[in-house]
Amino acid sequence: MKKTLKVLVADPISPKGVELLKNQGFETVEAYGSTPEQVKELIKDADAVIVRSETKITADVLACAKQLKAVGRAGVGVDNIDIPAASEKGVVVMNTPTGNTIATAELTFTHMLCGTRPISQANASIHSGVWDRKSFKGSELKNKTLAVLGMGRIGAEVAKRAMAFGMKVLAYDPFLTEARAKTLGVEMVELQDAFKRADYITVHMPLTEATKYMLDEKAFEMMKKGVRVFNCARGGIIKESALVEALKSGKVAAAGLDVYESEPLAKDSPLRDFPNLVLTPHLGASTKEAQESCGIEVAEVIADALNGGAIRNAINKPSIDAESMKQISPYITLCEKLGLFVQQISQERVKKLTIKYFGKLGNIDNKLLTLAVQKGYLSKISENANDVNAPAKIKHLGIEVESINSNAETDYSELVEVTATCESGATHGAAGTVMGKSAKPRIVRINAHNVELNPLSKCVILLLNDDKPGMVGTIGTIIGKYGCNIANMTLSRAEDGSVALSIYELDTTPSADAVAELNALDNVNVVRVVDFE
């Protein structure tokens, strides 16, 4: 009987998301408001866990999870999840990048408007019984320059709204292309240029080592006097102590924050002392529409991951849609087998894996293929290697991985070549492609020898021997003597006729005695057994 998979919903999501999980047959445990210790207990037998921003999935929590496969974040930011620890454990982490796009963009623009017209302050004044029109003079957005730092989905939506108000938009994003910037109608600039030219600055980037304190004392020094600054992305991108000093000095005329370095915001935080700083308690996704959308989306990605479908919105694994996966799946199998093959023919310590893609394969996103090579390489030498933890495990072994798209011509329209470079400088490599309408994977070259080898066979034995009469018969006799049936055979001779590479696809793995007898033959130089299963 098939085991029922358990999904722990640690933070509140839309009831429609919970209902979706239950309808798909998952044991769905709603444990809102659990303490860290309670989460550790509940996660022990969970196959997946869903969180928002409240529950922290730390390394300690992950250490308690015995069968966890996926973590889903109902929202964009994943700084409450230990990504390296999850990757090390082979747990895929996914988020919902589209669900709160409009909600966060609209909140950002609300902050911009409040920083332009002192609506919040005027509202507080009139509620206190005062009628004071003179103290709340504002400004206009039209003809002002806005710098958007991070031109992803949310940044693009903010830019669209800013242009509707007649603003000029500068965009800083290391991954933004000229073509995309032209489509969006924004001007690409470098970060320092954005700081110097902007009247308004808003950030829409994840919190990483590169973005932490992106707006610090030096950044504020470069800005115009009277600049307005806003952050509805991640706390820590703006250095709060630097913002406090910039507000005190008048360098920053107004600001708005929805996120903070530490949440909830401390009662004695100096940020609370500035009437021209509008503060909201992390409301970016707090709309009815966004909550429902994120709840449904996170349930869908978790269900797909547990049911063996396409992995979507993965943070620690390349994602691909189902249709694209169908197209490249034969190459994924091939790449896994190439990695496994090269590992087994390399008897020395390997320091580098080089993966080259030729022909049409050089024109696609081949991250998944590179990942497959690493996973295959590890399959016989590392426990529980999977699509998520393979890069970390390879790195721990001290192996460098290089992926190259090559324009060189080959005999095949698509070709993948994997080469292992050993510490001694010796190299061992194999290349493969897929053939025919059924897209069967084939290894077509081993080192300098052209071959045709089926990597879906159970086992192969490779022999490099002197090219002399009778060798094939002698080798075949020994293999048969030990009860191994030969399913197929390939022979490749060196151009000078001195040595030959013979490959025997076998139905069973040869015994140690069989391999020893083959190694003892006078004219045999190398014997390697490769187990493809």
By annotation, the residues acting in catalysis are: 234, 263, 282
Phi–psi pair at 520, nearest 5 degrees: -80, -10
262: DSSP letter: S
Q: Which residues contact 339 (CB under 8 A, 6 or more apart)?
A: 353, 372, 373, 374, 375, 376, 377, 378, 379, 418
* Among the listed residues 28, 38, 29, 80, the one whose alpha carbon sits nearest the alpha carbon of residue 59: 80
Count of alpha carbons within 13 Å of 181, Cβ hemisphere only?
17
CB 71 within 8 A of CB 57: yes
Q: What is the Cα–Cα distance from 419 to 429, expressed in whole angstroms? A: 4
Q: SS3 for 254?
A: strand
Q: What is the Cα–Cα distance from 275 to 526, expressed in whole angstroms? A: 79
Q: Are strands 200-203 and 277-279 parallel, antiparallel or unpaired?
A: unpaired
Residue 449 parent element (H or E): strand 449-453
Q: Which residues contact 24 (CB under 8 A, 6 or more apart)?
A: 303, 307
Q: Please name every residue paired with 502 in a beta bridge, in sequence order, or none if there are none.
A: 463, 491
Residue type, 65: A
The three-point CA angle 482-487-490 to 5° equals: 105
Q: What is the Cα–Cα distance from 239 to 221, expressed in whole angstroms? A: 13
Q: Which residues contact 379 (CB under 8 A, 6 or more apart)?
A: 336, 339, 340, 385
Q: Are strands 6-9 and 48-51 parallel, antiparallel or unpaired?
A: parallel
Helix spans in 250-358 (H): 288-306, 322-345
CB 88 within 8 A of CB 68: no
Q: Please name every residue paired with 187 in a beta bridge, in sequence order, or none if there are none.
A: 170
CB 26 within 8 A of CB 306: yes
Q: Which residues contact 35 (CB under 8 A, 6 or more apart)?
A: none
Q: What is the Cα–Cα distance from 414 to 444, expressed in whole angstroms? A: 12
Q: Which pairs from 34-38 meet CB under 8 Å and 24+ separation?
A: 34/10, 36/60, 36/61
